[in-house]
Structure 1
């Protein structure tokens, strides 16, 4: 290792390292440090870097892993032995039973009663011990997950990777709950907590406001910018959806107001043809809207959830819709082409509710449980044609400085096909997650805003990530860097 010692007057390359757990000195040092009696009290733990590197830095804790494997193996052997023993239940054939006298029959009955009692007692004792073990393992896993992004080793790994999204612009503004971009990413709309909408010109990460709109009475919760026409939609806490269009004088105006929901509009999405609009609401309902003479009409309303519907997502083929709610359920709805009707296809019971889910394609969707360090991956089981949870991906949660409630709503998950990355807001972090060709997911960047109040959107080409958070009080624009 051709690096100078960090003590200025030594001016010589480092040669040694120290592995003593109680050592408080810098662990990488030179021969002069050794001459100055640093690490003198634990000299047996000092080794030359060239002898030690391959053994330690790139080597897992094999002894600890072996000890864990040995314990697991022993438990498994004992479990199967016990299982075989418990199968014995004084079994006797009917022919043998008929040959028994009264005393033998009495002994057999007593034996069976005693065996059953001992079996129940043993299973009860094992169950209590297993619960304690499960709790110990669970607490350990939680601690590992919580510290994952703060560990020095992880920090080194992250620093070695090139940062994907780098902050290039910051503009002070009041709270913006939602963003949306047009098809060319030259226009951006922001939906404000104060109920107004602003239209911005967007160019190379710079914003210029060109119009302010007042089409709602309460906070804007969600927006959608159409790709095939100069129109956008906004959903509000005032229970309405505004359809806005660009007039000939290049000013935006309201074209239609959609009413029907009895609660705030939490999510808006459209199919690729933009002739189907789907909305979800605090009223626990999902509505499907279709165009008739260039105006939208509600064609179907479906329920199924017993709490507000926080997020909805269409699969790639657009014949399945996933929805999540605070009721600890994920619902999969399917479209019947012949009947032209959406129906409930699958109910997935979950242990921890979440606000965010997103279809990746027809076979996979992802789900973020509320404030957990793991994002769940659901894949289509081709045998029973249902979605099942197959794996979990570690994601950042961040560190909170501004205390507030929950994980905060909005900022839906977004999958960018062009870059094969998923944006997943979780607690105080915005996670950039990469998907490879084998459908494996890995978090490659976690941006810690140190507050849960974060709202944002990525441009459809994945080049820019735009956010607003209450700690900075600013629109922050980040750009993708290879």
Structure 2
């Protein structure tokens, strides 16, 4: 049981020095520190706009916070002591294994030497009559005997060497494993990890035989939409349970991307029919889309909204990024202008926190940075140099001046790359590069945008056969916390805005798989 004591409780005084016990606290944000303490006399003059909390109430909450903080510190020290003890025991075990192996090798040397000594003793005496006869008759028995002796020595040497080499090989194998394990243990000790994340499967695998191209949630996570061939399906989602309630028609080809508003129940769809539509919830399960908007000349591959949701960015196979004005209230779009610099399909778009930089990637090897001008218009800024030289599938800002990028080649590097703004240009941070599971027989497909939750500091991404969840560690680095493997690389999915659920669709199983994210 953690015991804590308030040092100055008996000496606390209000700002008016009434010399009366403090009974309440003003917790208003703009109140100066000394003016927060209120005695019974001060309470006679409180104003209606003041936020007053009883001393015992606020003291209890403060103490709980302190106890929680102390407990976290104690738990961390306990964890590090346990890890250090584990490493010490590992080293002690290695020491025993090493000594046992060396002792065994020494015994082989002793056996080897004993064989030489025995051979030496055998040939120290001779038969005079026999040797005299050999000498007179010029017999070559000695030469033959010596050859046999040499062969015997060679056999002894080979046998002993083979045994020693086997032990040395075992020792080398143990040594390499020991070095690897020790390095991992040291990294585990010096790293201060965030709570672990696990994925709990929800037993509600909703069948979805139509090919699913894209999935999106509304802000509350209670409405899900999915692009199933040329239809948009609307689903109720509650406590991990999924129920289809509506099928929307409007596009005449496959729906490739869906983007839900975070401010109201409206969403935007992009299709293989080269058009974009706005959808607005009217009442209950009724949704309306007034018209389609066609400025692109090929498939729509990605959609992105700014924070105020008055600007939409769309990327397409036609190599362009279109910028639109959005009016969700009236359920319409208005085309503004195009960004032209890509030479092939545009697959991924992302804005930084302050929305001063836009990054895009696509089927060619270019990662392009666009910057907002003083006139509030987006302009080309930089082509980012990257050492991997592969096509880019997805891209996402995870800090004001840092984004991550995933390539998609069939026989590529299979990694997650980091880029950071340094001296005015975005530069690859090769030391932060994270290896993903290597799968050289398939492409990493697009249409599964990276999902970054700033509040929970976790990242959801898909690469080939695997879906990964990354969590933030110390020094701002992210590590793979957990991953899911599938039979097919056609995987679509997303995460609810509160980072509580992940929903996935995979081509082989042809159903929605729901996972609850549990923080340990």
TM range (shorter): 0.5 to 0.7
- The separation in 1 between residues aligned to 2:286 and 2:471, in whole angstroms, is 39
Q: Could you give the per-residue CA deviations for residues 406-431 of structure 1, whole angstroms, max 9, x where no partner exists?
A: 22221011111122111121111111
Q: Are 2:393 and 1:359 equivalent residues in the alignment?
A: no
Cα distance change, pair 248–425 in 1 and its aligned pair in 2 (3 A) = closer
Equivalent of 1:378, from 412, 419, 424? 419
Q: Is the 8 A contact 2:384 2:426 kept in 1?
A: no
The Cα of 1:61 is off from its aligned counterpart by 5.8
- The separation in 2 between residues aligned to 1:426 and 1:19, in whole angstroms, is 41
2:437 counterpart residue number: 397
2:508 counterpart residue number: 471
Q: Could you give the per-residue CA deviations for residues 23-75 of structure 1, whole angstroms, max 9, x where no partner exists?
A: xxxxxxxxxxxxxxxxxx989999xxxxx9xx979941699x9xxxxxxxxxx
1:226 counterpart residue number: 261
- The separation in 2 between residues aligned to 1:431 and 1:395, in whole angstroms, is 12
Q: Could you give the per-residue CA deviations for residues 116-174 of structure 1, whole angstroms, max 9, x where no partner exists?
A: xxxxxxxxxxxxxxxxxxxxxxxxxxxxxxxxxxxxxx9xxxxxx96521221322212
- The separation in 2 between residues aligned to 1:61 and 1:209, in whole angstroms, is 50
- The separation in 1 between residues aligned to 2:284 and 2:474, in whole angstroms, is 47
2:428 counterpart residue number: 388
Q: Are 2:388 and 1:347 equivalent residues in the alignment?
A: no
Helix, strand or coil for the counterpart of 1:438? helix
* Structure with bigger gyration radius: 2
- The separation in 1 between residues aligned to 2:180 and 2:490, in whole angstroms, is 40
Equivalent of 1:460, from 481, 494, 497? 497
Q: Are 2:179 and 1:60 equivalent residues in the alignment?
A: yes
Helix, strand or coil for the counterpart of 2:179? coil
1:291 counterpart residue number: 326
Alignment of 1:381-460 (within 5 A): 381=422, 383-397=423-437, 406-460=443-497
The Cα of 1:297 is off from its aligned counterpart by 0.8
Q: Could you give the per-residue CA deviations for residues 354-385 of structure 1, whole angstroms, max 9, x where no partner exists?
A: 2011111211100112253321111110x244
Higher mean C-alpha deviation, range 298-307 or range 384-393: 384-393
Helix, strand or coil for the counterpart of 2:508? coil
The Cα of 1:396 is off from its aligned counterpart by 3.4
The Cα of 1:19 is off from its aligned counterpart by 7.4
The Cα of 1:386 is off from its aligned counterpart by 3.4
Give TM-score scaled by structure 1 length. 0.65
Q: Are 2:330 and 1:306 equivalent residues in the alignment?
A: no
Alpha carbon RMSD of aligned pairs, Å?
3.3
Cα distance change, pair 420–42 in 1 and its aligned pair in 2 (3 A) = farther
Equivalent of 2:236, from 201, 206, 210? 201
**Structure 1 unaligned regions, length at least 5:** 1-15, 21-40, 47-51, 66-153, 155-160
- The separation in 1 between residues aligned to 2:324 and 2:176, in whole angstroms, is 59
- The separation in 2 between residues aligned to 1:238 and 1:477, in whole angstroms, is 30
Q: Which has the higher helix share?
A: 2
Q: Are 2:278 and 1:243 equivalent residues in the alignment?
A: yes
